[in-house]
A and B are shown apart, each in its own frame.
Chain A
Amino acid sequence: MTEAPADIEKITASVEALKADFEDHSYICSDQIATAVYLAYHLRKPILIEGPPGVGKTELAKTTAEMFELPLIRLQCYEGLDEAKAIYEWKYGKQLLYIQVLKEALGEVLQGAKGFAQSVSRLHEFGDIFFSEEFLEPRPLLKALKEEDGCVLLIDEVDKSDHEFESLLLEMLSEFQVSIPEIGTVKATREPPIVFLTSNNAREISDALKRRCLHLYIPFPDVEMEQRIIHARVPEIPPKLRKQLVNFIQELRDLDLKKVPAISETIDWARTLLLLHTESLDPQLVRDTLNVILKFQEDIENVDAEISTLTSKAMK
């Protein structure tokens, strides 16, 4: 862990090195993805990742953290998320408790003070102790800034949050700092965090936020890539079956479905087939395990009729 910074230097020396390292951590990525991480690290810019669900947006952040041996701090966005949960909050309980405990000490402090003005001025000498770092409960964003050796900050599904929260992020993303009225501005330590934002495009992200980020779009992978991914994630699966199931999924993606299967579904399916000791795809087996890859009854019914054609196509 102590030589982590040096490691990062080496890993980020070139896009190729990055890519190779990602593969070592069984994350198969395209040049585009590796370039994005490379730029994000060197330009110190957050990356906004968009793409259909299940193509490995969150996984990218997790793998990056693993690779750089940095802690991963995750902020899951949802409607109604506000600064108290994202940036910081005061430890009210602790404040109250301390006040109770210190009530007695107060007498000593104020001993000998003449008049109200003098007492107040004596109290002023102590400053705002109750609103100091001691009583501050850091939430993910603040925590990420305070991490000494840098960290990977994942702001997941930012499209689920409100407009207001997006604006809240702007300061953090462009300056790597947050302002706390009672304390002042907290800046990132030596190493600013590497920030990943993911979005499923539930709504359009504002231009202001987009402007501050690099933008990476991860599409569904092609056949060759998906095979490599399956190989990396489910190494036990025989090559023949791997080829068949990837072909099948690729065929499926061309159909008009409510929710097309993503990489995560392919992986799940590969694991399922492995568990069933499958040697090769056949229509009956596909029919039985279809609910692993398709998540809507409507889709399953639609595909059901075409299973044999699809299977025979995939077997080629």
Chain B
Amino acid sequence: MDRTLANFIRALRNSEVRISTAETLDAFNAVELVGYKDRAFLKRSLSIVLPKTADEKETFDNCFDQFFSIDDIRGETESAAADADEEHGDAEGGDGEGGGAGGDPDQQSRGANAASNNKKKKSKGALSAAEEAEEPDLGPGEMSEAASNLGQLLLLDSRVELTVAMAAAGEAVDLIEIQVFTQKGLYTRRIMEQMGLVDLNREISTLRDSDRVPDRRLGQELRRRRDWLREQIRDYVEKQFLLHADASGKRLREELLRKVKLSNVEHRSFRLIQEIVYKMAKRLSSLHSRRKKVFKRGQLNITRTLRKNMSYDGAIFDLQWKSVKIDRPKVFAICDVSGSVANYARFMLMFLYSLEDVMPKVRSFAFSSDLAEVTDLFDRNSIEDAIAKTLRDYGGGSTDYGQALQDFKKLCLDDIDNRTTIIILGDARNNYGDPRTDIMKELYDRCKRLIWLNPEPRSSWTVGDAEMRKYTAYCHQADECNSLMHLERVVGNLLRSVN
């Protein structure tokens, strides 16, 4: 029982619903209270306990439907009753097929199959004789109690409990480990066996030979339900495959993308990258965005001071201040979008954009030779538009760091003080122009931190027209940054120092 829920939670986590251990415990308590019998009720209850945002609730709905899906057994059996004859024939064929699929890799199951198939064969003669002698369908009426566990479960008509049993069996045969599509037949067979197929088959054939009508009726019913169950399990395995194998595939892809160089990422992965960057930004911001409320200085908050000092007999010595927000940008980010970094520019801008999301006060600048502020542009447009517009307006030209630094100095040197962090994203390839290290020095002296993120590997920082060596002297920190992993590390460090 509980393993089913644990598996479900695992599947939820795979689809990126964040569930803590405490919430898992809550879910167990809720299930204990609610039970597995009423599917809709269970869904409603779990949707209150587990997902905690509107987004997550949607994911949860899908996940739940996939995980606990199983067609209504009643409807199925009714339709089955209509063409019972056909069903009987199909059942035999289906059985053989299942045995074949499951048989080859697994010796044990082959043995079991053979045994059950033999039994069937033996009883087949008797069955056809019996069937000719009586009506094919015995119709509704008195029925004996099923003896085998699986038989009893099938007759219960509770699809959720059946799903639970199915899931438990799936757990026992390590269904979660399913990795390739072709394993589905094998796992279906294994689950059937785990749930007690052998016993059920034996019971069905015994019932068939019975003299009592209720027994035979039960036998027919059980056969129908067994076949139905097989279908259900096949579906179940397929869905589990989608749930587990697919999710781990996605994670693998993400993992890979984080490590691969940004310039090598194929175009079709851009969307995924964007997703990762956004997720990263969000996580970082939730880690670091603590609002600070108490300030050391400001306007005296008289009411609060009096209240606070009442406990000191009215002697005012614990002063309370009205908070004052310091309206000064804390981060200046300068991004090179020239031809030499064309491959990276997109990602640099993406980074810049997410940076604005993450950090409270960011002013962004872009340049190839002339530098301009793009903060507003980023504010007003969606990420795609902002990046496209920036690249259109400023991108593609030849690099002139000297000019860019000159512009930057003119634009906002006055705004830079000892609480400012400057980030420069670029390859420092200056086409042998004047690097204007004097401006760099000026910036370096004024600001709190100057960080240079270079997409090129450290080894080529001094090769050709790269001025990185000169610039490094005036940086507090100079890092290689060309994959999402680098980016995450850098931003993480940055936030720690900025906040």
Within 8 Å by CB of A207, from B18, B40, B290, B291, lies B18
A43 contacts across to B, CB distance below 8 A: 26, 29-30, 33
A25 within 8 A of B: no
Complex contact A163–B291 (CB within 8 A): yes
Max chain B C-beta neighbours (<10 A), residue from A39, A45, A47, A163: A39
Q: Are B52 and A31 in contact (CB under 8 A)?
A: no
Cβ of A214 within 8 Å of any chain B Cβ, yes or no, is: yes
13 CB contacts below 8 A, A to B, read A36-B48, A43-B26, A47-B48, A50-B54, A84-B307, A96-B313, A164-B293, A207-B18, A207-B52, A211-B20, A211-B23, A215-B51, A215-B52
Chain B residues in contact with chain A, CB under 8 A? 18, 20, 22-23, 26, 29-30, 33-34, 40-41, 44-45, 47-49, 51-54, 57, 286, 290-291, 293, 307, 310-311, 313
Contact between B52 and A39, CB atoms less than 8 A apart: no
Among B33, B293, B310, B313, the residue within 8 A (CB) of A162 is B293
Q: Mark A96-137, 1 if CB is under 8 A from B, else 0.
A: 100000000000000000000000000000000000000000
Closest to B292 in A: A163
Q: Which residue of A lies closest to B290 (CB)?
A: A163
Q: Inside 8 A of B20's CB, which chain A residues have their CB?
A: 207, 211
Contacts of B23 in A (CB 8 A): 211
Top 5 A-B pairs ranked by shortest CB distance? A92-B310, A210-B52, A35-B44, A215-B52, A214-B48
The answer, yes or no, to whether A42 is at the interface (CB within 8 Å) is yes
Out of A31, A207, A211, A213, name the residue touching B44 (CB < 8 Å): A31
On chain B, the residues within 8 Å of A48 by CB distance are 52
A291 at the interface (CB under 8 A from B): no
Contact A39/B307 with A162-B291, A207-B18, A215-B52 known, Cβ cut-off 8 Å: no
B-side contacts of A45, CB under 8 Å: 26
Type the 1/0 row for A36-80, where 1 means its CB is closer than 8 Å to any CB of B: 100100110101101000000000000000000000000000000
Interface residues of A, count at CB 8 A: 29
A interface, over-half SS:
helix
Q: Does A90 contact B (CB under 8 A)?
A: yes
Is A39 within 8 A of B290, CB to CB? no
Contact assessment for B51 and A39 in the assembled complex, using a CB-CB cutoff below 8 Å: no
Min distance, Cβ A27 to any Cβ of chain B, angstroms? 18
Report B-chain residues with C-beta under 8 Å of the C-beta of A210. Answer: 52
Give the residue name and chain of the A residue nearest to B312 (CB).
A92
The residue in chain B whose Cβ has the minimal distance to the Cβ of A50 is B54
The answer to whether B313 and A214 have CB atoms under 8 Å apart is no
Are B54's CB and A217's CB within 8 A? yes
* Beta-carbon contact of A31 and B40 below 8 Å: yes
The contact of B33 among A31, A39, A207, by CB within 8 Å, is A39
CB distance from A8 to the nearest CB of B (A): 16
Does A264 make an interface contact (CB < 8 A)?
A: no
* A215 with B48: CB separation less than 8 A: yes
Output the least CB separation between A209 and chain B (Å). Answer: 10
Contact indicator per residue, chain A 210-230, by CB within 8 Å of chain B (1) or not (0): 111111110000000000000
A90 touches B311 (CB 8 A): yes
CB B296 to nearest CB in A, in angstroms, measures: 17
- Residues of chain B within 8 A (CB-CB) of A84 are 307
Q: Which A residues are CB-close (under 8 A) to B54?
A: 50, 217
Q: When chains A and B are docked, how far (Å) is the Cα of A211 from the Cα of B52? A: 8
CB B48 to nearest CB in A, in angstroms, measures: 5
The answer to whether A39 touches B22 (Cβ under 8 A) is no
B307 touches A217 (CB 8 A): no
- In the assembled complex, how far is the CB of residue A153 from the closest CB belonging to chain B, in whole angstroms? 18
Q: How far is the CB of B353 from chain A (nearest CB, A)?
A: 20
Q: Pick the contact of A211 from B22, B29, B41, B307 — CB < 8 Å?
A: B22
A32 part of interface (Cβ distance < 8 Å): yes
Interface status of A15 (Cβ within 8 A of chain B): yes
Is the CB–CB distance between A32 and B44 below 8 Å?
yes
Closest residue of A by beta carbon distance from B50: A215
A96 — which chain B residues lie within 8 A by C-beta? 313
Assess whether B41 is in contact with A15, with CB atoms less than 8 Å apart: yes
Across the interface, do A39 and B49 meet the contact criterion of CB distance under 8 Å?
yes
With A31-B40, A35-B44 as known contacts, state yes or no: A212 contacts B52, CB within 8 Å.
no
Residue of B nearest to A34 (CB): B44
Hey, which chain B residues are within 8 Å of A215, CB to CB? 48-49, 51-53
Residues on B with C-beta less than 8 A from A47 are 48
Q: Check A214–B310 contact: CB distance below 8 A.
A: no
Bound CA–CA A215/B467 (angstroms) = 55
Contact A212 B48 (CB under 8 A): no
- Cα of A206 to Cα of B269 in the assembled complex, Å: 32
Contacts A43-B30, A90-B311, A163-B291 known; A214 to B49 CB distance under 8 Å? yes
